[in-house]
A = this chain, B = another copy of it.
């Protein structure tokens, strides 16, 4: 139980144990509610260990997120050399499955997704680090994938919105897991790692259908790509009494 009593005790091992324990506690209750006493107790270390190995609680938090990003980048790399030659649709499937695999991790790194979710709702300086080190590279790769799928005629703004639509379907299970499990308690849709393949299939199919539709309409209105929104108007053309004056005039 005590870190000192561990016979195979490499130097500065308590530092690593503290990092893991802190990651779990921070993910469980958040930065403010987490106490260094509980972190040290889980790590089997003294209360003063945090202030000795790290300067203070906040520095410990930053180090936790820094190491967490490094862990995510090696355990769940968002791109693979081997898939570079695969068709973009299959790469998109890999991208989505990889994102879901991190979110549904129920093993040693299950706390990672929860910690990221907290940081997004209540950003600290660590969020800039996360964005620079992982989120922005992921966004860039996703943009390249979408560009290959929708072609060159699609405007950048639409592409950006599509990228957000795709990742949102994945991150949803990271931020709203509690609601989904309560909304469908008896369902087959168990939010476990086993659900990743079928979920990835759905999100990929859902998104590819939308992307292919956008690719069609953007090719059709190639000369005036900014007015692609008219296609939505066409969809919403109604066979009944209410006639919308413009899409923006629809009930909001």
Interface residues of A, Cβ cutoff 8 Å to B: 29-30, 32-33, 80, 82-83, 85-87, 89-90, 93-94, 97-98, 100-101, 114, 117-118, 120-123, 127-128, 131, 135-136, 139, 157-158, 160-162, 164-165, 167-169, 171-172, 175-176, 178-180, 182-184, 187-189, 196-210, 212-214, 229, 231-232, 235-236, 238-242, 244, 247-248, 250-252
Give the residues in chain B near A85, CB-CB below 8 Å.
240-242
| B94 adjacent to A250 (CB under 8 Å) | yes
Known: A236-B93, A247-B201, A252-B94. A127 touches B86 (CB 8 A): no
- Given A114-B121, A251-B97: A205 and B176 within 8 A (CB)? no
The A interface, classified by DSSP as helix, strand, loop or mixed, is: helix
Docked-complex contact B32 and A165, CB < 8 angstroms:
no
Contacts of A82 in B (CB 8 A): 251
Q: Is the CB of A235 within 8 A of B205?
A: yes
A90 touches B244 (CB 8 A): yes
Considering the chains assembled together, what is the distance between the CA atoms of A15 and B198 in angstroms? 49
Closest to A229 in B: B201
Distance, CA A180 to CA B131, complexed state (A): 10
- Decide: B160 and A187 in contact? CB cutoff 8 A: yes
Which residues from B are CB-within-8-Å of A89? Answer: 235-236, 238
Residues from chain B with a CB closer than 8 A to the CB of A157 are 188-189
Contact of A127 among B83, B87, B161, B178 (CB under 8 A): B178
B86 with A240: CB separation less than 8 A: yes
